[in-house]
Structure 1
């Protein structure tokens, strides 16, 4: 018998990227969530019936202020939160337009090189997503 505790929390997000206006090099956006005092990729829980990609782009807009053009789907992360399984689908997404305004969920963002992003991310599992984006952009 499946219980609510066994049903995964479904979430989605993006590894948001852009080219630096000064040198054209790849930069990855990380968000700081004061509630958890952590650095992560923009992501969040899906609304009931919401498509994962739609939810991922909504979360990017809500947390960063940027609209994004989605690219390659990346690795899906699965882990436990308070004993309950969580499944987060990710996409590479290029920041197209927008500007960050601090909000209730996210008080800061940083645009970092892939190497800087890997070391700044709070959860080691999130660093592999940076590598996924670098590989995807090299193939494009």
Structure 2
């Protein structure tokens, strides 16, 4: 199925390709971890940082770029997490995710992302809008435990 791209006028086919991270840090207040969630006013939702690939961009590079653009944070990318597939306005979307530990930076609101919060995993699962995003939290915690990190 070919779809005419509104921006460049060229024809594209297949799913919208995107990448993101489940961004985490050691809690400054407890022995656990906290997850970064972003609020997107366009969709009125809470999610993990993610976004579309630029032409020729590798998935992991896009994930790191999107974390920086949406949260202001730098990160160390860890293990790959499940790829999530769903429909957006009737078009298939495929998002590849990684676990990523925040290494620095500071959030600044933008038109695309107006809020960011750091929450412990149970609170993050309660705040995330979509089930697919909540499931990624469980997978992240399992990956961290398998890597010897205690979340």
- On whether the aligned pair clears a TM of 0.5, the verdict is yes
1:116 aligned to which of 123, 147, 150: 123
Which of 118, 122, 125 is the matching residue for 2:132?
A: 125
* Higher RCO (CA 8 Å, separation ≥ 6 residues): 1
Q: Deviations over 1:44-85 (max 9, x none)?
A: 000011000000000000000000100000010001111111
CA-CA distance at 1:96 after TM superposition: 0.2
Alignment TM-score, normalising by the size of structure 1: 0.96
Alpha-carbon distance in 2 for matches of 1:8, 1:88: 10
Structure 2 regions of 5+ residues with no counterpart? 4-11
Output the TM-score relative to the length of structure 2.
Answer: 0.89
Gapped runs of 5+ residues in structure 1?
A: none
**Residue 6 (structure 1) shift:** 5.3
Report how many aligned residue pairs link the two structures. Answer: 139
Show the counterpart of 1:21.
28
User: In the TM superposition, what is the alpha-carbon distance from 1:122 to its structure 2 partner?
Assistant: 0.6
RMSD over equivalenced CA pairs, Å = 1.1
In 1, Cα distance between the equivalents of 2:78 and 2:133?
A: 18
SS in 2 for 1:74: strand
* d(CA) in 1 for partners of 2:113, 2:89: 22
